[in-house]
Chain A
Amino acid sequence: MGFFTKIKNFIVELWGVSDTSLNEQILKDIDSTRFVVLDTETTGFDYENDRILCIGAIVLQNYRIPIQESLEIYIQQEHYNKATAQIHGILRASVLDRPNELEALQQLLDFVGDSIIVAHHTSFDITMINKALERNGLPRLKNKTIDTAILYKKTLLNSPLLDRKDSYSLDDLADKFDISKKDRHTAMGDAYITAIAFLKILNKLKEKKGFNFNNYLNIDKK
């Protein structure tokens, strides 16, 4: 991917505050920060040719998820891939009244604002969205992002006894945290699972020694 470089002390340099105090600040700010947890269902994994079918996004602020403020958009399709329809069950014409890609993106941008975006395997969802933005002549997302797949690894015991996997799927997280997998593989359902997993991860990380939340905030520098 290469678009996203992890910038450890971005804000530190910017504001000249110490690393630890900033970290505490951010942990405190978790209470008030507006996070948007999102997931996309796509026609496939090819950034160039595949398209977003559906976006599910929910707001997470102060440990609360107001259902009313969530966003679930099914996008009108030009391109369609039969193979992935079996996974997400979205058929080409099954949802009426769909906005086109541009309208959907505008809704999404309004919704996200300057919130921190949380997703599982962020780079996939963000790249998909950025490609769509590009196609429609819109600027890329500038939001800070957090990847629960990476953050989760930080909760794992640092012990030689534990066989770590390279990558943990959303299913792994749902099993670990006892989150119901109902609605798995719908954008909204996955966004919800990600949100709850994110909260549980934060809760675990608070107990960890010297954890620096900042290190896991990614900013698109490009």
Chain B
Amino acid sequence: MKNTISQRVADFLKNFPPFSFLKQRDLELISEQITIIYKEKDSVVFAENEETHNSFYVVHKGAVALRGNHENEILDMCDEGDIFGLRPLIANENYKMEARTYEESILYAIPISVFKPYALENKAVGNFLIESFASNTLNPFSKSHRGKLYGEESLEADTKLLDLQEVKYSKKIVSCIATTTAKEAAEIMRHKNVGAILVVEETFPIGIITDKDLRNKIVTGEFQITTPVSEIMTSPVITYPTKMTVTQAQIAMMKSDISHLCLTIDGTSNSKAVGMLSKHDVMVSIGNNPAVLLREIKRAKKFKKIKQIRASIIHLLQGYLDQNIPMTLITKIISELNDACTKQVIAIVLKKTETSPPVKFSWLALGSQGRSEQLLLTDQDNALIYEDVPEELEAETKKYFLELSARINKGLFEIGYDYCPAEMMASNPNWCMSLSDYKTKIHHWITNTGKNEVLLSFIFFDYSLSFGDTELVNNLSDFIFEDVKANPTFYIHLVSGALQSQSPTGFFREFLLEQDGAHKDFFNIKNRALMPLADAARVLILSHSVKSISNTAERFEKLAELEPNNSELYTACAYSYKALLKFRTKQGLLHNDSGQYIALNTLSKAEKIKLKSTFKTIKELQEIIRVRFNPSNIL
């Protein structure tokens, strides 16, 4: 019987081959016979060698992974509109692969008996099926992006170590001196066919001129072509030592947003320039790497595209962990990429929004994303600050930003960030406010501190700017430091909050496991090990009034510098934090979740010992805080 749902199904199917070749009427008839199936994440649709079902499947929402005889090898990933489980039905054999949902999914099961007559009758449908079977992927139309999506091709063994290889830089330095004219410099560059020329004094680099400088300063007519290069060069030059890996070079370029690095003997601009490294050099030899991904993110025009790139990011992460690349480096790269995804989502939303923002605003990442510690996809925590507006415009302005935020939150959801269960998102009126409203709110937390206010401060104070205006954020940070300084009792609350985190081990030094719920007998690495460290780092760094470091490990490193007598402990904390984060990330990748809960029986003896050794550090750290922020010492 034709009804609203069968029409809804038909409307979806008609966008995808082979259904797109069918007549609307036929498609509706087929849709009436379909069963809609809901599958939780990681549940089996059919197993290898299982007898065939009487239906094949189309993914409506979510994703399904097809795996071959070696369980873990993903042969194909089906997402919206892809068909799977059809060939065995036509070939009359058992399933050759296992189909398991990769995300929570909704599938349409189409009975083969209903579909077969159309496949036989309609030539276009038949051809499509023959082609897709022959190419051994289930949907030839999606074949083109498949390699990129899961990086099978680019992460082959031989390219794996490339990121950690030392860079090959050009040793022939193209240079000129300060009095060379712009015209002469350009001629040298043309002759040597390079995009940048170094300006040297003796052999020390004092500046650099790139194609971009010539374009922006000379071609625009701003300077004469006879101008000496010293007037138009970029100075000082950003220099690095020659011993750097491909990955480090990329980060250096990303960090300063430059296309050329100058390599000197000791890495400073006070030693001899020995080489030049261009972005191009770095990119040429590598396929799936951070810089390429970053460029792809920046070019993405649709959320869906970013979601695909995110799959490559996860793959990259897996590769880095497998190769035991230092955690500091991994977190930097991956958070940089995650950050770029967020930025791009906002950029896309802004582009699609007809009216441009009425005033300046900043988009803040909170929690783990704010601390640049987010490796795997977790929930989104964010907030928006906008410039103060005259009272009569406030309501209108707030409305604008709330609507904008709702679209950004939805976009982030679509690329894989779940909604925050506590609604700590910019689309919530409490987290989308003008600068002065934030100040009022934060002042309230600091002066009327209760349990909730501490909790809010913990999450909020780890913010970092993802997009928009820097001024607003700096202004807010300054306000917070001033206000906290003026109200020292606030520390007492923060400290008691930080000490409240549950201890990771019990009396007999055994692990404390979850008592009930879905994660019964698992170890909660986030609440019991990572949070105590992050909370303590925040209190300490706040007491030193250090701005703009929000990463926990970096905070400890800074603390080690600031308090030489505790430097050993803080260094140990930084190390422990990184080790724990790595644990969590590995577990998360293994189970395709956030890695918050660890099954202890999957850990080796060595891993357990390593885990436990970090707990000792946590205890010592909490002791220091307890003593230092003892109410009687502060007031």
* Most chain B CB inside 10 Å of its own CB: which residue of A56, A68, A188: A68
- Is the CB–CB distance between B4 and A186 below 8 Å? yes
Q: Which of A167-199 contact B (CB under 8 A)?
A: 176, 178, 182-183, 186-189, 192, 196, 199
B27-35, B66-74, B162-170, B564-572 - interface stretch = B27-35
Mark the stretch among B349-357, B418-426, B439-447, B614-622 that contacts chain A: B418-426
Query: Which 5 A-B residue pairings sit nearest by Cβ, starting from the closest?
Result: A209-B517, A188-B4, A207-B518, A65-B36, A157-B421
- Inside 8 A of B32's CB, which chain A residues have their CB? 67-68
Distance (whole angstroms) from the CB of A50 to the closest CB of chain B: 22
Do the beta carbons of A183 and B517 come within 8 Å of each other? Answer: no
Does B91 touch A at the CB level, under 8 Å?
A: no
List of B residues within 8 angstroms of A187 by Cβ: 4
Residues of A within 8 A of B38 (CB): 63-65, 196, 199-200
| 0/1 string, A203-219, CB within 8 A of B gives 1 | 10011111000000000
Q: Give, as a whole number of angstroms, the nearest-CB distance from A107 to chain B.
A: 12
Is A139 an interface residue when CB atoms closer than 8 A count as contact?
A: no
Given contacts A64-B37, A67-B32, A67-B33, contact A189 B422 (CB under 8 A): no
Q: With A and B bound together, what is the CA distance between A160 and B422 in angstroms?
A: 9
Q: Contacts A178-B413, A207-B518, A210-B517; is A160 near B5 (CB within 8 Å)? A: no
Q: Which residues of A contact B519 (CB under 8 A)?
A: 207
How far apart are the CA atoms of A171 and B1 in the complex, in Å? 27
Indicate whether A66 sits within 8 Å of B517 (C-beta atoms), given known contacts A160-B452, A188-B4: no
Q: Are A70 and B517 touching (Cβ within 8 A)? A: no
**Counting CB contacts under 8 A, is A156 at the interface?**
yes
CB-based contact B35/A66 at 8 Å: yes
Q: Beyond the given A67-B32, A72-B1, A203-B40, please list 18 additional residue pairs across the A-B interface where CB-CB is below 8 A.
A: A56-B4, A63-B37, A63-B39, A67-B6, A68-B32, A72-B3, A159-B421, A160-B452, A160-B455, A161-B456, A176-B419, A182-B11, A188-B3, A189-B8, A196-B38, A196-B106, A208-B518, A209-B518
Q: In chain B, residues 9-52, which have Cβ atoms closer than 8 Å to a Cβ of chain A? A: 9, 11, 31-40
Is A58 engaged at the interface, CB distance under 8 Å to the other chain?
Answer: yes
Q: Identify the B interface with A (CB < 8 A).
A: 1, 3-6, 8-9, 11, 31-40, 61, 104, 106, 109, 413, 419, 421-424, 428, 430, 451-452, 455-456, 516-519
| Interface pairs (22), CB distance under 8 Å | A56-B4, A63-B38, A63-B39, A64-B109, A65-B5, A67-B5, A67-B32, A68-B33, A70-B1, A72-B1, A157-B422, A160-B452, A161-B422, A161-B423, A161-B452, A161-B456, A162-B422, A163-B423, A183-B4, A196-B38, A196-B106, A209-B518
B3 to chain A: closest residue by CB: A72
Q: Closest B residue to A200 by CB, please name it.
A: B104
A192 touches B5 (CB 8 A): yes
Interface flags for A110-134 (1: CB within 8 Å of B; 0: not) read 0000000000000000000000000
Contact B35 A65 (CB under 8 A): yes
User: Closest chain A residue to B456 by CB distance?
Assistant: A161
| Chain A residues whose CB sits within 8 angstroms of the CB of B33 once the complex forms | 67-68
Q: Closest Cβ of chain A: how far from B441's Cβ, in Å?
A: 13
CB neighbours (8 Å) of A163 from chain B are: 423, 428, 430
Q: Look across to chain B and name the residue whose beta carbon is closest to the beta carbon of A182.
A: B8
A68 to B106 alpha-carbon distance, docked (Å) = 17
B592, chain A: closest CB distance, angstroms: 15
Closest residue of chain B to A164, judged by CB? B423
Contact: A203 with B104, CB < 8 Å? yes
| B423 contacts across to A, CB distance below 8 A | 161-163
Tell me, rounded to whole Å, the shortest Cβ–Cβ distance linking A100 to chain B.
19
- Asked if residues A183 and B8 are in contact (CB atoms below 8 Å), the reply is yes
How many of A's residues come within 8 Å of B, CB to CB? 35
Is B5 in contact with A188, judged by CB distance below 8 angstroms?
Answer: yes
Given contacts A64-B36, A67-B33, A67-B36, contact A206 B421 (CB under 8 A): no
Contact of A58 among B5, B34, B424 (CB under 8 A): B5
Chain B residues near A186 (CB-CB < 8 A): 4
Least Cβ–Cβ distance between A110 and chain B, in angstroms: 15
Question: What is the CA–CA distance of A179 and B37 in the complex, to the nearest angstrom?
Answer: 14
Render A43-66 as a binary contact track against B, CB cut-off 8 A, 1 for contact.
000000000000010100001111
Query: Which of B1, B36, B104 neighbours the largest number of chain A CB atoms within 10 Å of its CB?
Result: B36
Are A161 and B455 in contact (CB-based, < 8 A)? yes
- Minimum C-beta distance from B451 to chain A (A): 8
C-alpha spacing A163/B37, complex, angstroms: 33
Q: Which residue of A lies closest to B516 (CB)?
A: A209
Contacts of A208 in B (CB 8 A): 517-518
Which of B5, B424, B517 gathers most chain A CB within 10 Å?
Answer: B5
List B contacts of A161 (CB < 8 A).
422-424, 452, 455-456
Residues on B with C-beta less than 8 A from A58 are 5
Given A63-B37, A68-B32, A203-B104: A159 in contact with B422 (beta carbons within 8 A): yes
CA distance A56 to B6 in the complex (A): 13
CB distance from B417 to the nearest CB of A (A): 12
Interchain CA distance A182-B11 in the complex, whole Å: 11
For the complex formed, measure the closest distance between the CB of A183 and the CB atoms of chain B, giving whole angstroms.
Answer: 5
A18 to chain B, nearest CB (A): 16
A192→B35 contact, CB < 8 A:
no
User: In the complex, which residues of chain A have a beta carbon less than 8 angstroms from the beta carbon of B456?
Assistant: 161
**Which A76-125 residues sit within 8 Å CB-CB of chain B?**
none
| Chain B residues positioned under 8 Å from A56 (CB to CB) | 3-4
Contact status A207-B517, CB under 8 Å: yes
CA distance A205 to B419 in the complex (A): 16
B37, closest chain A residue (CB): A64
Q: Which single residue of chain A is at the shortest CB-CB distance from B430?
A: A163
- In the complex, which residues of chain B have a beta carbon less than 8 angstroms from the beta carbon of A67? 3, 5-6, 9, 31-36
- What's the nearest-Cβ distance from chain B to residue A56, in Å? 7
Please indicate the chain A residues that have their CB under 8 angstroms from the CB of B36 in the complex. 64-67
Contact B1 A68 (CB under 8 A): yes
The residue of chain B having its C-beta at the shortest distance from the C-beta of A178 within the complex is B413
Contact call B8/A192, Cβ cutoff below 8 A: yes
Residues from chain B with a CB closer than 8 A to the CB of A70 are 1, 3, 5
The minimal Cβ–Cβ distance linking B454 to chain A, given in whole angstroms, is 11
Report A58 CB to chain B, min CB distance, Å: 7
Bound complex: CA A160 to CA B516 (Å): 22
Give the shortest distance, in Å, between A2 (CB) and chain B (any CB).
Answer: 33
- The smallest C-beta distance from A180 to any residue of chain B, in angstroms, reads 8
Look across to chain A and name the residue whose beta carbon is closest to the beta carbon of B61. Answer: A178
Q: State in angstroms the CA–CA spacing of A159 and B452 once bound together.
A: 9
Chain B nearest CB, measured from A213 CB (Å): 14
Bound together, the chains give a CA A56 to CA B516 distance in angstroms of 39
Q: In whole angstroms, how far apart are the Cα atoms of A118 and B402 in the complex?
A: 33
Give Cα A189–Cα B455 distance, bound, in whole angstroms: 41
| A64–B422 touching, CB < 8 Å | no
Q: How long is the Cα–Cα vector from A161 to B34 in the complex, in angstroms? A: 43
B202 vs chain A, min Cβ distance (A):
61
> Which residues of chain B are within 8 angstroms of A156 by Cβ–Cβ distance?
421
B36 to chain A, nearest CB (A): 4
**A162 lies within 8 A of B3 (CB):** no
**Could you tell me the distance in whole angstroms from the C-beta of A37 to the nearest C-beta in chain B?**
11
Q: In the assembly, what is the distance between CA of A188 and CA of B61, in Å?
A: 20
- The answer for the CA separation of A161 and B8 in the assembled complex, in Å, is 38
Q: How far is the CB of B621 from chain A (nearest CB, A)?
A: 26
A187 to B3, CA, bound (A): 11
When distances are taken between beta carbons in the complex, the residues of chain A under 8 Å from B8 are 182-183, 189, 192
A66 and B6 CA atoms in complex are apart in Å by 10
